[in-house]
Structure 1
């Protein structure tokens, strides 16, 4: 049986990390948007003129996921050559 190229192992790990970040982003957004946003409009609190549910789900969520992506790419992803390796 032919052994898989070592680059596939790295690609699979990085794909799982990417899926984890996407899932975290969705849960963050959904939790704040529907958690805080399900109250009656009269009970909304405002941050910088925006409803708190929108501010935390969209503004803070965007900033948080942007920072997390930069950190993950910088410290956990590795550069992989795309050239075909010559068989010896």
Structure 2
């Protein structure tokens, strides 16, 4: 069962989760950009460094980055996110 949170606690948790999600996305974009463009080798493809048949820059930016940030996302969700009801609390009606 999801814990009961006040409206203020819900809003704080939602903001915290949104900031963490945005931070993860920005970190992933930075990783992708600098491994894709920063270490990309210039010149003929014969001179590239290859990993599993893929150029190093592609392997790091698209394969390693995806796996790394998938694991980071799982860790962050388990560690910092909370399961709670987003609906309005129903007030008990007294008859």
Question: Which range, TM-score by smaller chain?
Answer: 0.7 to 0.9
Structure 1 residue runs without a partner (length 5+):
none
Q: Does 1:33 align with 2:36?
A: yes
- Calculate the TM-score normalised by the size of structure 1: 0.86
Distance (whole Å) between structure 2 residues aligned to residue 72 and residue 54 of structure 1: 26
Out of 62, 66, 71, the residue aligned to residue 67 of structure 1 is 71
1:48 CA drift (Å): 0.4
Report which of the two structures shows the higher radius of gyration computed on alpha carbons. Answer: 2
- The alignment partner of 2:37 has SS state of helix
Which ranges of 4 or more aligned residues in structure 1 deviate by more than 3 Å?
none
**Residues 41 and 48, structure 2, Cα contact 8 Å, conserved in 1:** no
Matched pairs, number: 85
- Calculate the TM-score normalised by the size of structure 2: 0.80
Structure 2 residue runs without a partner (length 5+):
1-6
1:23 CA drift (Å): 0.3
